[in-house]
Structure 1
């Protein structure tokens, strides 16, 4: 099949659009649509469209290859479209709900996030994982999976294949732990509300938290969403800190000010959309549409990452990154469980 696809592409070299940037963008959008369709099938929904999209992109690159001119379009998808999706993701976050939860929820969420980030990063570095990949895996585990990785990747100077490796690692482990939570819930000794908070405090993606809590009622799902969105809110301060720590050496002596804070536009866009949603300036209908658009754009961005993925990197660093992230994730799960049992 792969050879047939290659022959087809070579036979259509005269089709200029087939080798241009526009085709790269269209291909990423097409794969995003495919990932959303696959995510609606039984058994695949737990993976989520972002994981499926990056898998489809990697499979296409492996089977058919991607022309250098086309890569300009896939690069646009993996950067601009992905960041636009992160901005629209703010429509899911109500700062009022986060504030209403009280300082206790924010406090233990911040503590758990710091623990997870430190554990994954530290273990990964001991295992010989490159610093940028270790940071991405740590942030993805601590905050909100693929969206957090995409947000901080430009801050730490990560390459597209490094970003893809972080996304795949965190997504696969998050999916596995989600399944484990669902199976173990009856013996955890937690009521639905506390179980939902556990899911929100320790699972990687927003979709993972919802998937783990939904089978156990609305109370569990609402608690999971509240705690998980509180973790999403931590993306803003974490991005600011990483931007300061990872800025080029030539900028080290600049005088600090808000205007020179090296946080990319889409993080402020995420905060602005969250604020507008919290103030009621975005109607429920518009918020629902923004959430769907965010899912599609994030999937398109992940497809772009897959289309530019350097598969040899997965073989070189993938196993060590996976092991480090697994250990860090288990530490986060254990710490969160102890908090809700006590």
Structure 2
């Protein structure tokens, strides 16, 4: 018997699920995606992973035994990748950006999230879906989607939709931002500021910064990592907001934590990288493991993407993704012109 792994069946409950087949398939998919990226560095590993998962699941139904492990991978491996992302951040480097750039980072994240939530409400999109998209497009892509999902426990279909949109649009920005930098005649430093403030994934920022050249890569990556650091305060706000919503609804169960445990782990690794001398091999190994975990999670989430589900969702999330990209990019450009 085979089943289509719809989001509602992918969630693992209890310890009875057989995880190994689905987890193994996710890791295999991650390996293929990483191999494609090594052969074609301009192609996003995460985009390849989610497309592989979606393509495989939509070509034919996957065996039922895969469902528990895929559901586990789509959540647990994604959150483990978020934790390891903290090892790439140093508060010393971020403070060294100067007050102007730090204000820009706060404006991009706060303005992007607030604006996307308002636009999403006007489009009639539900709270959890527009929050996932807002965080993904304003902070750090798929990792931010996973972090927000950990605070509000949204549906897997909403998570898969948000991840697919943020990876696809962020990949498109790899070519768009450098092209616009050239057309506008921006200096490499200003172009790096714009790329770091506007593009969704860290790896996508690296690719775009390399295309811009002339020292843009370094400043773009540090600004992007400053946006990643905003995960902690944003997740605290989301956790508080979720507790208030549940209290207003007379919820009598256990309230969610103000900050999910994996975000605490993320902050702990930020502190380690800031104040403990971490050897280069450890940073490199952590980055490789982070990429592998996120790619495996993207593959698993891709397996939950169904063509019929996308038809049911309709075009509104795509419209929101377009407008969120324009909003964040505009804030980033204004900031780049002011501080670049």
TM-score, length basis structure 1: 0.87
Report the more deviating stretch, 239-248 or 137-146: 239-248
Aligned counterpart in structure 2 of residue 35 of structure 1, from 24, 33, 36: 33
The alpha carbon displacement at 1:326 in A equals 0.8
Match of 1:25 in 2: 23
Match of 2:315 in 1: 319
Closer, same or farther: CA 46–119 of 1 in aligned 2, 3 Å: farther
Q: Say if 2:47 and 2:171, in contact at 8 Å, map to a contact too.
A: no
Aligned counterpart in structure 1 of residue 325 of structure 2, from 317, 326, 329: 329
Aligned counterpart in structure 1 of residue 100 of structure 2, from 99, 104, 121: 104
Q: Deviations over 1:154-201 (max 9, x none)?
A: 212211121110011112112222211122222223211111011001
Q: Say if 2:53 and 2:301, in contact at 8 Å, map to a contact too.
A: yes
Aligned counterpart in structure 1 of residue 270 of structure 2, from 264, 271, 274: 274
Aligned counterpart in structure 2 of residue 264 of structure 1, from 260, 264, 270: 260
The alpha carbon displacement at 1:233 in A equals 0.3
Helix, strand or coil: the match of 1:262?
Answer: coil
Closer, same or farther: CA 60–220 of 1 in aligned 2, 3 Å: same
- Report whether the alignment pairs 1:200 with 2:196: yes
RMSD over equivalenced CA pairs, Å: 2.3
Report the more deviating stretch, 83-92 or 33-42: 33-42
Distance 2:308 2:200 in 1: 25
TM-score, length basis structure 2: 0.87
Distance 1:338 1:249 in 2: 35
The alpha carbon displacement at 1:95 in A equals 1.2
Match of 2:125 in 1: 129
The alpha carbon displacement at 1:328 in A equals 2.0
Distance 1:262 1:338 in 2: 33
Q: Say if 1:31 and 1:57, in contact at 8 Å, map to a contact too.
A: yes
- Report whether the alignment pairs 1:138 with 2:134: yes
Q: Say if 2:235 and 2:259, in contact at 8 Å, map to a contact too.
A: yes
Closer, same or farther: CA 266–218 of 1 in aligned 2, 3 Å: farther
Distance 1:200 1:308 in 2: 30
Gaps of 5+ in 2: 5-16
Aligned counterpart in structure 1 of residue 145 of structure 2, from 145, 149, 155: 149
- Report whether the alignment pairs 1:162 with 2:187: no
The alpha carbon displacement at 1:283 in A equals 1.2
